[in-house]
Amino acid sequence: MNDDVLATVIDILTTKAGLPPGPVTPTATLQEAGVDSMAAAVLAMILEDDHHLVITETALTAQSTVADLAAFIETQLATRA
Amino acid sequence: MNASPVHTSAAPFQARDEQILWRTTAFSCRTLTPCAVPTGPALLVLGGGLQTRHSWARLEQRLAPHHPVLIPELPPARPRGAPHLDWNDLTDAAVRTLDQLGVAQTAVLGVSSGYPVAYRLAQRHPGRTSHLMLFGASPKPGPRLTALIQEGLHHLHRTDPAAQARTHQAERLVALLTNPAAAAHDLLMRAAAKVLLQHLLAAPHDPLKAYIRDRGALLLQQPLPYGGISGVPALVGVGAYDTTTTVADNRAVAATIRGATFAVFDNCDHLLHMERDADFATLITRFLRSDPTALRGCTTEVLP
């Protein structure tokens, strides 16, 4: 997995979506990381605005861990390319 | 409108639901108990229309480690097949919550259409109210909201509309409860509006009818009671871009409370508790601790 994507996802969740940074680690489940509907919406909107990637919040929150979430987004970016 | 909070063995608070028995019915109250000794008063959270006891996950994470928190899901004002309730009834239900849970005194947080209940509780039971905090409060609903409520009342007993019409109703409600023009330039305002829309669309009922049955109809019945409040430390806050309850509306409510602190948050609208959740929690915490430290992006003043 591309570490840049993981770093970007963590950065969005903690600096844009307002999640406390402590629990947002690669191995944390999305629940442990505190990813809620607001965080998912922020992430989806940034992916769409900045990366022209449309992914539903449902698809984002279906991932297990933060690392899985980043890997899923990376796959979607690659597919789009 | 929020995911459930995280529960791990190291969680700093414990959560459970209590059934509050009130008159001939019962309603749920989410209770959060800090694992450590509380450092501040209990906090009673009275949310607005369409909110549930699970709508405060982020606030819980920030406050529940330090304060016992009670989040009752008060009955809808217009329940199907049962007598209509008014603000006094809902206030009685809130007091019943405190009585049943053995809470002698609490800080009270009233948000949006939770504010008329919080206000009455503080007004009538000042000895039980250590602090009063109101966000998104207005002496009466504005013209657009009034028109929508009246339209909803007119349609209340009609068959639920088709899915497309329900989506339209949800979009109208969101447009009214948020500020789309300001949100166009702010990620968090847009995200909060999106979350609210998803919440409304996921519900099984017509969102406008649900809003009317819950609290909407009551907003036409004098949300702000006569008489004012004195002797209770109070904070009234509003988002600078709130078009549902404007800065002037909130200031008017604050002016009826002797010595109230009035706060205006930059860059947010009526959903400020979602858009600036960390600052929202910080302002509440500082107010409860009598901490005068200024909050960036928030102007405060103390009214006479």
Above 90 in pLDDT, residue B3?
Answer: no
User: Quick check: B6 and A34 CB within 8 A?
Assistant: yes
pLDDT at B5: 43
Q: Which domains does chain B have, with CATH numbers?
A: 13-140+222-302 (3.40.50.1820), 143-214 (no CATH)
Whether the per-residue pLDDT at B7 is higher than 50: the answer is: no
Asked if B187 and A35 come within 8 Å (Cβ–Cβ), the reply is no
pLDDT value, residue B6: 43
| Residue B79 pLDDT | 85
CA atoms within 13 A on the CB side of A55: 26
Interchain CB distance below 8 Å, B191 and A23: no
Whole-structure pTM value: 0.94
Q: Could you say which of B1, B6, B278 has the minimum Cβ distance to residue A37?
A: B1
Strands (E), B146-242: 234-239
Specify whether the CB–CB gap between A12 and A46 falls below 8 A: yes
Tell the residue number behind the tokens 């860059």, with chain if given.
B267
Q: For the residues of B228-245, what is the DSSP string, one character each?
A: -B-SS-EEEEEETT-SSS
- Residue among B4, B61, B195 whose CB faces A38 most closely: B195
Give the residue numbers in B contacting A (CB under 8 Å), as ranges.
Answer: 1-6, 8, 57-58, 61, 187-188, 190-192, 194-195, 198-199, 274, 277-278
Stretches where chain A sits below pLDDT 70 are 1, 81
Mean pLDDT over residues B210-235, rounded?
96
Q: Is the per-residue pLDDT at B1 higher than 60?
A: no
Per-residue pLDDT band for B204 (boundaries 50, 70, 90) equals confident
CB contact under 8 A, A45 and B187: yes
Total beta-carbon pairs less than 8 A apart between chain A and chain B = 51
Check pLDDT > 60 for residue B142. yes
For chain B, give the percent of residues with pLDDT over 90.
86
**Would the pLDDT of B31 be above 70?**
yes
Res. B165: pLDDT tops 90: no
Average pLDDT over residues B4-30: 84
Contact B190 A45 (CB under 8 A): yes
Partners of A41 on chain B (C-beta within 8 Å) are: 191-192, 194-195, 198
Domain coverage including residue A60: 3-80
Q: Is A54 on the interface with B (CB under 8 A)?
A: no
pLDDT in tens, B51-110: 999 999 999 999 999 999 999 999 999 988 889 999 999 999 999 999 999 999 999 999
pLDDT of residue A81: 67
Residue B81: predicted pLDDT: 84
* Rounded percentage of chain B residues whose pLDDT exceeds 70: 97
Tell me how many domains chain A contains. 1
Q: Is the pLDDT confidence value at B269 over 80?
A: yes
**Closest CB to A18 among B1, B190, B277:** B277
Contact B127, B62 (CB under 8 A): no
The Cα–Cα gap between B141 and B243 comes to 11
**Are residues A36 and B61, on separate chains, in Cβ contact within 8 Å?**
no
Residue B210 has pLDDT above 70, yes or no: yes
